[in-house]
Amino acid sequence: MSCIRLRKSCEYYPGDVGADAAANPTGLTERLRYLERLLHVNGDESRQDVSPGEEGRHQPVVNGDFPTSYFLDPEYFSLLRLDALSTPDQPFMRAAWRLVESDWKTIYETYLETVQHWLPMLSRKRLHSDLLTLAIGKKPADTLLILCMKLCTQGIRSDDSSEEQQDDEVYNTAKQCCFYAESGGFVSLRLVQSLVLLAVYELGHAIYPAAYLTIGRASRLAGMMGQHSRKNTRQLFIDPDTWTLREEQRRTWWAIFILDRAISAGTEGLTVSAPSPGSHDLLPCTDAEWNQGSIGSNEPLLAESFHAGTSLGPFAQTCQAAHMLDKVLTHLDRCRVDNDKNVAETLEEAMYLHKALLALDASLNLPGMLSTHSYPWTDGASPFQDGGDGTQCAMALCCSARILLYSEYGCNEPEARTTTRERVAMETEAQRVAYREIEKMAAMTIPKMAKLTVQASNGAAAKPSTSPLLAHCMYHGATECAWFIKENHERNMYAALRQIVRGLKAVQSEWRVGGEYLSLLEKGEVLELVDEVKASTV
C-alpha cells in the first residue's frame, strides 16, 4: 500500500532484512543506501509527467540567494548582480519548456511581427542574443518569456475542444510558472516582462479579476527592483551596464503603467498599483531606433507642450496618453471624495485637463478630425495610419480619458450631482464643452479608429495584430452614439455606430474582450440601432 500511495515501484532488497539486520549495522546501512538510490531513480522518472502544481506540493520553491536584509535591514544590504536572482533550472520550468521547445523560434518571430508593434517593450537586439542558446537549464527565465509570448500571439482558436484545451494548458502553465518564480524569490527583468505579457493576455480575453491582479504583481515586483524611480528608491540590482538594458527597463515600467491605468479606467474608484510618473521621468526613445538596436534619445515626460516631432515615437505618445488618463482618474477620485468644496478650483482643473487633452489629441496627427465635416468612413488614407497600432493605442487612451472627464461634467442636474451648494457659471461652460467634444469623438475620431482596426484585422492573417486597448474606447464611443441617436436620430451617428460595431467585431476576432463589449451593447439594446433605417435629422 505504501508503494501505491507514494507512486513507487515495488522492489525489495535481496538480502536478509529480518532480525539479523538489526544485529548487523553494515547490512542496514547498505539497505538504506539502496533505498535512497531507488528513490532517486523513481523520482527522476516520475518527474517528467508531474505538473508544476503537483510537484510544488511535495517540495517548496525557495531561492536561498535572495537577500532578506533588503526588507529586514537595508543598511546591511549590498546591490546584487543583474543575474544574481534569475530563475535556475527548477522542475516547474520544465513544463514551460515542453510547450515551446518545438516552435519557440516561430513564436519569437510572430511576436515581433504583431504585439511588438503596439507594445515595444522588449529589445530585439537583447532578445535575439539571449535566445541564441535557449535551452532548458540554461535560460529558464527566457523560456518563461517565450511561453507568455505564445499566449499573446496564438489568437482566438476555433471551436475545436482540443485547441481550447491546448490554450488552457499554455495559460495555466504560464500562471503557475510565474507564481512559483516570483513567490520563490527568483527576481529578474524577464520575470517582470512575463507577468506583463500574461496581463496583456488576460486583459485581451477579459479574464477578470486576474488581469487586475497580475498587473499589480508585475508592478510590485518591478517596484521592488526600483524600476519606477532610479533616484528616490532603493535599488535591488546594480545599474545596467548598457544603454539598451536601461531603456528596456524603462519601457517595461511604462508598459506596466499603461496596462495598470487601462485596466483600472473602467471601474470607478479602483485602486491603481503603479505609482504615477515623477517630474524627472523620461519617455522611451523612438520606436524606429529601438527596433533597429541603435542608441536613441529620450524626451522628458513633462515637456512644455505636446508635439508630433520625429523625436517622439508611437510608444512614447502612448505613455503620454496613459499619463493624461492617470491625471483624469486622479481628478475624478478627488471630485467624488469632496464634491462640494473648492468647486471653482475643481472646475478650473477640469478645464486645464480638457485643454491638455486637446493638445495631446492634436499631437497625434489628428487636428483635422476635430473640425472637419467629412465623416471618416468615407475618407481615404488616415492621417495617423503611418503611426501604426502604437499611435492608435495612444489615441484610444486619449479618447478614454476625455470620455471619462466629459462624462463627469456632461450633466449638471442637481439630482445627478447630489450637491447642496450654490451653482457657479463655470459648470454650464463645462457642460457645454463636454457635450460638444463627446459628439465630435463619437461622430468622427472613434469611428476612424474603428475603420483602421477593421483594415488591420482583414490583413492580419489570423494573427493578433490589434491592441485590445482599443476596445474600451470603442465601447464607450458606441454608447455615446446610441445616446445621440435616441436624442436626435442624427443620420451621421447611425453610420458612426455601425463603423464602431465593425471595429469591435474586428477586435473580437483576435481578443475575446471585443465580444464581451459587444454583449454589453446587446444587453443595453444598442446593437438594435445598427440595423435601423436611417432617420432624418430632427
> Would you state the pLDDT for residue 141?
87
Q: Which helix (H) or strand (E) holds 301?
A: none
Q: Which amino acid is at 162?
A: S
Span of 175-179, 384-388, 483-487 with lowest mean pLDDT: 384-388
Three-state DSSP state, 271: coil
**pLDDT confidence of residue 43:** 46
In this predicted structure, which of 159-168, 217-226, 369-378, 391-400 has the lowest mean pLDDT? 369-378
Across residues 397-423, what is the average pLDDT? 77
**Greater confidence, 185 or 532?**
185
Dihedral sign, CA of 251, 256, 257, 263? positive
Here the cell at position 515 is: 465580444
Closest alpha carbon to 253 in 307, 205, 201, 215: 215
Q: Tell me: the pLDDT tens digits for 250-259? A: 999 999 999 9
pLDDT in tens, 476-530: 999 999 999 988 888 899 999 999 999 999 999 999 999 999 999 999 888 888 7
pLDDT above 50 (res 419): yes
What pLDDT score was predicted for residue 155?
Answer: 67
Looking at residue 246, what is its pLDDT?
95
Measured at the CA of 267, the angle between CA 120 and CA 498, to 5 degrees, comes to 75
**What are the pLDDT digits (tens) for 127-160?**
988 887 666 556 788 899 999 999 999 865 545 5
- Could you read off the pLDDT of 39-98 as tens digits, one per residue? 554 444 444 444 554 544 446 677 777 888 888 888 888 788 887 787 666 777 888 888
